Amino acid sequence: MERFILLEYWENLQNGECQAVTNFALSKSIVSNTKLSICVHSKKYCDQFLKKCFSNESLAKKLINGQKITVQGVTVTLESLITLQKQFTMESVVYLALYPSRKMMTLLEKSNTKAEAIIVFSEKQHSEHLSEWINKFNPMKLECHTKDEQNS
């Protein structure tokens, strides 16, 4: 299983990084011919950052309303701590974990699915549990690009 992480300070994550990481996760799903599960702590409170994952906000709204969507030929679902605990499927999946808690990371690593990749997007503050995950699994670090870098 592949593991990736983008861990930055909050102010550095406001320049389209969430959409870029979502596109990276979609490309991983395309290459591995799997669905993409976007994982959040709570579906009820995720709309603020889930909308930043897509250029079309209606896609985020469909996910929040419990619908599966298709993006670039990939089936995308929204999972929370509750649905991850109940999940049991043998299909392959790529996980994109947005601001995951320690409990979510444990669930993803002990998942009953065939995870092809775990991609983590989070801020550095309050990320001690992610430091432990990084030390244990040595994920590939994804880079954050500032507006100046993107425009050059």
pLDDT tens digits along 16-65? 788 889 999 999 999 999 999 999 988 887 878 788 888 888 999 999 99
pLDDT digits (tens, 9 = 90+) for 69-100: 999 999 999 999 888 877 666 678 999 999 89
Strand order in the sheet with 114-123: 69-71, 74-79, 35-39, 92-98, 114-123, 2-8, 140-141
Kindly report the backbone phi and psi dihedral angles of residue 97, in degrees, each rounded to the nearest multiple of 5, phi listed first.
Answer: -95, 115
pLDDT digits (tens, 9 = 90+) for 133-148: 999 999 999 886 644 4
The predicted pLDDT at position 29 comes to 96
Distance CA 127, CA 109 (A): 17
The predicted pLDDT at position 112 comes to 59
pLDDT digits (tens, 9 = 90+) for 92-128: 899 999 989 999 998 888 865 678 888 898 877 667 8
Environment class of 134 (CB within 10 Å of its CB; exposed 0-12, middle 13-18, buried 19+): middle
Number of H helices, E strands in the chain: 7, 7
Q: Residue-wise over 40-64: b if at least 16 C-beta within 10 A, else e? A: bbebeebeeebbbbbeeeebbebbb
The predicted pLDDT at position 146 comes to 46
The predicted pLDDT at position 151 comes to 42
